[in-house]
Amino acid sequence: MAMIGTTNVHAKSTEVIPEDSAQVKKLLAIHKDLVARITPYGKVCFDGEECDINITVLAPAVEGVARPGDQLYKAICSTCHDSGLLGAPKVGTADWTPRIAKGKATLYDHAINGFNAMPARGGADISDDEVKNAVDYILSQAK
């Protein structure tokens, strides 16, 4: 069955609503770019695809308030640092030992400004303090 499997971020449920239901058809008719608009917040799945069930939705930025590192990590950094994608040091492993040896200031700098395949700010529009929170979270998980 075809389905739109986006996590329902408002109800925090993972209920899957069939794509051919009247409800979804109507929504798609009204909002033609619906899928494109959902994508930054949650994965949209179709027939036969595996769907994320643990989507972390980043709370909207509030001026002057840095969001917590664990949330930032899950929403942005985990894409690479959970799996080691592109050679990223894996969170929660000894991959971080030689990195930590460089000193925190260098790690902050590389996370903010980018370092080889590590994109500046993880490629996201987040503040310096938020990048630092995410780095602190990563370091708190290091073994």
Q: Return the residues of window 72-111 that contact ligand HEC according to CB under 6 A.
A: 72, 76-77, 79-81, 85-89, 99, 102, 106-107, 110-111
Smallest separation, CB 69 to ligand HEC (Å) = 8
Neighbours of 72 (CB within 10 A): 27
Nearer to ligand HEC, 61 or 86 (CB): 86
Quote the distance between the C-alpha of residue 1 and its chain's center: 27
Cα–Cα distance measured from residue 45 to residue 19, given in angstroms and rounded to the nearest whole number: 10
Helix residue ranges per DSSP H, the chain: 22-30, 34-38, 69-72, 78-81, 97-100, 104-113, 128-141
Q: By the 8 A CB rule, do 2 and 47 touch?
A: yes
Q: By the 8 A CB rule, do 95 and 47 touch?
A: no
> Total binding residues for ligand HEC by CB under 6 A?
29
What is the x/- site pattern for ligand HEC, positions 25-64, by CB under 6 A? ----------------------------------------
Smallest separation, CB 75 to ligand HEC (Å) = 9
Q: Give me the residues that bind ligand HEC (CB under 6 A), please.
A: 72, 76-77, 79-81, 85-89, 99, 102, 106-107, 110-111, 115-119, 121-123, 131, 134-135, 138
